[in-house]
Structure 1
Amino acid sequence: MTRTIITGTLIAALMAGTASADTLREALVSAYHTNPTLTAQRESLKASDANVAIARAAGRPQVSVTGGLNRDLSRSGILDTGGDATLSVGADLNVPLFTGGRVKNSVRGAKTRVEAGRGTLRAVEGDVFTEAVSAYMDVIRDRAVVELNQNNVRVLTTNLEATQDRFQIGDLTRTDVAQSEARLQQGRARLAVAQGNLTSSEAVYRRVIGHPPGTLAPPPPLPPLPKSEDEAVRIALTDNPDLFAAQRLATAAGYDVRVAEAGRLPTVSGVVSGTWVDELNGTFGNGSAAQGSQTTAGLSTTVPIFQGGLIGGRVRQAQALQGQAFEQVVGTERAVVAATRAAFANYYATERAIQAQTVAVQANELALEGVRAEQSVGTRTVLDVLDAEQELLNAQVLLVTAKRDQYVAGFQLLNAMGQAEAQDLGLDGGPLYDPLANYRRVAGSWNDWATDPIHAPAATRTVSPQEMPATPILTPDLVPMSNDPSLPTPAIITPLGPTGLPSSSTLPAPAPSTSTTGVTQPRR
């Protein structure tokens, strides 16, 4: 129930946006459909789906036909029947009746790995969305920082001009001019660094989302988050997809042990075969027609007695891999707990930092105003004014950074709790990928001639025509160009003011939903 409330709140928040700007929701929709990490993971899950059909095939009837045309080079004595060529055709039907549990446990293991693959796909979705949110917020933050530094350079330029004018009339000294000049050059250096950071953030946005950022709207408020670390951890241990995938892989490893143990047991198969032979241009010794046929039916049993330690080695190997999977479950659980606690701590720490930096910005604004007034009457120096301006800039940048960090940490917490996937976000950029559709299509297939068309990448490229070299490694006939080859350049930065990012809403605590994450032993 609480998960439904959280999901509904997040969907409603993402639905809100600015009509004239790109929204976070639109960025997530683009990442969902075009991010190559996510689209590749879907193909990986399809490969796991096919393993179920492969495992089932080992328990199904096998039919084969053989044929031969043989010509004798020489015959003599009683072997000379007058013919010199033989045509033979045979057919065999083999039906596995008992395999010691090998097929049954192979199918169960394949199905369990499909479940693990679905969990991994959920985890990759959450990770890609978290990366997309981080890229989105980085661009907003860095654009705000560039704007703040541009404004600072303008202020410092005005200060330098005023200082030089006052130096000309003898009101200030050359030292004051040098201090103003130094501070302006430092401001220009900070602006250059900020612009470089912005270019880097826009490149990451382009990689993750699939196109350059335009004018970005402020993100919507985050949904309610837990109020305590323990509650957040409980939710994560219930819903985290990485932990679910690790648990299913450990269960599948148990089935692998049963498959290895089946090598010690007898196998029984039903066998039906037929053979037809025609000795061309000849007769058998009794003068009958040189043709014949034979059909047989029976049971074939193989009882392993001694295999040189092969089966014991395979069983021990499977048991060791099962032990590794159990250890990895614990390791994954540790990682989930650590990630949840870290995201929770970062979120609420940045919330307190936002409150403190907001006060700091207000205080520095007042201080700068006072220092300027005092400098005008001669009780403060030019250096005092420059220091006050720098303190205000630093506080504004820290506030913008804290708001970005809080939003990203909040989304990381949602991801750690397993609540940052496509179905939680309610993306409306077309139907969501259904992993069950491909499974139903391929898992029970009996057709040896079944195949799929050559895969065309669903992920879009981010290379513009201007960037394409004359002889690229990846040619368009191998990997198609982006659906949007124009790749528009980033729009003009929308002024965000000194605070840059909106703060999140008050966050009540959700309760965990129900699912099974314990490691279960497979049945024999």
Structure 2
Amino acid sequence: MVAAPAGATTLREAFVQTYNNSPDLNAARAQLRGIDEGVPIAKAASRLGVTGVVGITQSTTGLSRLDNGSRVATGQVNLSYPLFQGGRVRNGINAAEARVVAGRAGLRTVEGNTFAAAVSAYMDVIRDQAIVDQRKKNVDVLNTNLRASRDRFEVGDLTRTDVAQSEARLSLAKSQLATAQGNLTASRENYRRVIGAWPATLEPPPPLPPLPKTSDEAVDIALEESPAIQSAIATTQASQYDVRAARAARLPTFSAIGGSSYNDYLGTRARQIGLPSNTPGIDQTQGQNNYGVSLSIPHYQRGMVGSRVRQAQAVESQALEQSIGTERLVVSNVRSAFAIYQAAGAAIAGNQQAVSANELALEGVRAENTVGTRTVLNVLDAEQELLNAQVALVTAQRDQYVAGFALLNAMGRAQADDLSLDGGALYDPVANYSRVRNRFGDWSDSPRYSSPSTRTTGATPDDPDVKPYTPPDPAPVTSPRN
């Protein structure tokens, strides 16, 4: 892959754009912030509860005689503080904490997958751009061949068949160029979808960090560091706490309670107790305070608790099986990526030799064609074989780099903190958790959200690579000699 001109976009810059602008990443961060709120929600069940009631009532002696009845304005405050709830609060908090751990690992998984998609999109554009350039060169060469064939036909050196073969190959090359241009446009649009910007000119990617020598070594790293496995383990732990919390519903609950009430009869107290309304000395207000403890002992709850425990146990079993499935998937992804990486490396070596050999063969076939020992068709075949080898080489280079990064991702080493991004501070998933974990106010909303993700609804920039290609006028044909 040839070097890009100065000012071209680098892979690291593409990573920075993806990290800051990806709606998938920003959605995963928002999801984690929602998971963080599970901790203060669980803690709320252990805190003092305060409720207030105010009201006014009017009694009547008839349908329309409001003035004959009594009135009362009521104010009441009730307090309740749980002292023992059977362990449901403690296990609920532990489950919420475990889900936070799982959510952070899930965010790292989304980061790795997003960066892997960015690498694939980046390399697809580079590959398809190289193929378009090669196809254009092939059209130029075949156009020159056709002119030479027509000139030699005019002097009787070639037959009409030779000219027809040159025309057919040129038409086929133009068709292949159009297909390559379409693939390049699709790759650029996918790049814009993943990274959020139109790819102008891309630099060749930097070398990958050192990779494990064997697939077994890569699997061992993945089992230790893969965020997908870590998330599955934490989710299983959370489900175990959920089972314990469900069982706690079978146990008694013990609470301290208290309250205060105040009634104002608004001058109607005498009528309420059956005295004339103008009876003097009647107190129009009444207050009362109360406090104590409350013990609630469940005896029979219609089978609901047993059903909820069994339901939580089923979810725990599901989480355990899913963790095993995740482990299998990670191992499979690691071994597959390692195999593709190794195979692509061997393909690169083979295709490089094929390109060198085909270049030499083409030079020889062209020389032999000038002395009549090779036909025009032989020259066209040699040119096509060289082009096929060049395309295969570019494709293998792309496949090896993408597979290498996929291997890093499967091992858990393709997140933002592994890539040394230089586009500003990284998103800190702990900051929001630290801010909200002990909040207890009912009016502490988050500020209104404004999406940092970029939109791609604007017009697509002009792309000269997808316009109909007109080969330049060839230089005068000179016949090479042996």
* Cα distance in structure 2, aligned partners of 1:144 and 1:231: 34
Q: Aligned-pair RMSD on alpha carbons?
A: 1.9
Q: 1:90 corresponds to which letter in structure 2?
A: Q
Aligned pairs for 1:227-266 (under 5 A) are: 227-266=213-252
Measured after TM superposition, the shift of residue 59 of structure 1 is 1.0
2:254 aligns with 268
How far the C-alpha of 1:283 sits from its partner, in A, is 3.4
Q: State the shift of 1:84 in Å.
A: 2.3
Q: 1:491 to 1:172 in 2, by over 3 A?
A: closer
Shift of 1:290: 2.1
Aligned to 2:101: 115
Deviation at 1:83, TM superposition (A): 6.0
In 1: Cα distance, 2:291 partner to 2:160 partner: 111
Give structure 2 stretches of 5+ with no counterpart: 276-280, 467-482
Tell me the TM-score normalized by structure 2. Answer: 0.91
Partner residue, 1:298: 292
Taking the aligned partners of 2:293 and 2:259, their CA distance within structure 1 comes to 11
Match of 2:337 in 1: 343
Residue 404 of structure 1 corresponds to: 398
1:288 is displaced (CA, Å) by: 2.9
2:313 corresponds to 1:319: yes
Q: Relative to 1, partners in 2 of residues 1:259 and 1:437: Cα closer, same or farther, differing over 3 Å?
A: same
The answer to which of 299-308 and 396-405 deviates more is 299-308
Deviation at 1:489, TM superposition (A): 5.2
Distance 1:315 1:402, change over 3 A: same
Contact preservation (8 Å) 2:181, 2:465: no
The amino acid of 1:251's aligned partner reads Q
| Residue 442 (structure 1) aligned to one of 436, 443, 447 | 436
Instruction: Return the offset for 1:303.
Output: 0.8
Q: For 2:463 and 2:140, how far apart are their aligned partners in 1?
A: 23
TM-score, length of structure 1 as denominator length? 0.84
Secondary structure class of the residue paired with 2:266: strand
Determine which of 180, 183, 186 is the counterpart of 1:194.
Answer: 180
Q: Which of these residues, 439, 450, 460, is aligned with residue 454 of structure 2?
A: 460
**Do the aligned partners of 1:272 and 1:297 also contact (CA within 8 Å) in 2?**
yes
Q: Kindly indicate whether the alpha-carbon contact (under 8 Å) linking 1:81 and 1:282 is maintained by their aligned counterparts in 2.
A: no
Q: Which amino acid aligns with 2:129?
A: R
User: Is this contact kept in 1: 2:8–2:203, CA < 8 A?
Assistant: yes
- 1:29 aligns to 2:16 (yes or no): yes
TM-aligned CA deviation for residue 239 of structure 1? 0.3
For the Cα contact (< 8 Å) 1:276–1:294, is it kept in 2? Answer: yes
Query: Which residue, 22, 29, 33 being the options, matches 1:46?
Result: 33
Name 1:425's counterpart in structure 2: 419
Aligned-partner SS, 2:292:
strand
What's the CA shift for 1:292?
0.7
The CA deviation at 1:34 is 0.1
8 A Cα contact 1:212 1:490, kept in partner: no
CA distance in 1, matches of 2:369, 2:338: 45
Correspondence for 2:372 among 366, 372, 378: 378
Does the 8 A contact of 1:66 with 1:90 survive in 2?
yes
Determine which of 221, 225, 233 is the counterpart of 2:211: 225
Residue 390 of structure 1 is aligned with which of 384, 389, 393? 384
1:94–1:269 contact (8 Å) kept in structure 2: yes
CA distance in 2 between partners of 1:17 and 1:171 (Å):
43
Question: Structure 1, residues 174-212: CA drift from partner, whole Å, max 9, x if none?
Answer: 111111111111101110010000000000100111110
CA deviation string 1:277-327 (max 9, x = no partner): 111113344853121111110111211111111111100010010000000
The 2-side partners of 1:411 and 1:489 are apart by 31
Map 1:139-154 to 2 at 5 A: 139-154=125-140
Q: 1:439 to 1:433 in 2, by over 3 A?
A: same
Shift of 1:93: 0.4
* Identity across the alignment (%): 54
1:122 Cα deviation after fit: 0.4
* Count of residue pairs the alignment pairs up: 454
* 8 A Cα contact 1:41 1:124, kept in partner: yes
Distance 1:68 1:345 in 2: 75
Match of 1:184 in 2: 170
Q: 1: CA distance between counterparts of 2:421 and 2:327?
A: 29
Q: Which runs of 5+ in 1 are unaligned?
A: 1-15, 468-487, 494-524
The one-letter amino acid of 1:223's match is: P
Question: Partner of 1:280: helix, strand, or coil?
Answer: coil
Is the radius of gyration larger for structure 1 or structure 2? 2
SS of residue matched to 1:281: coil
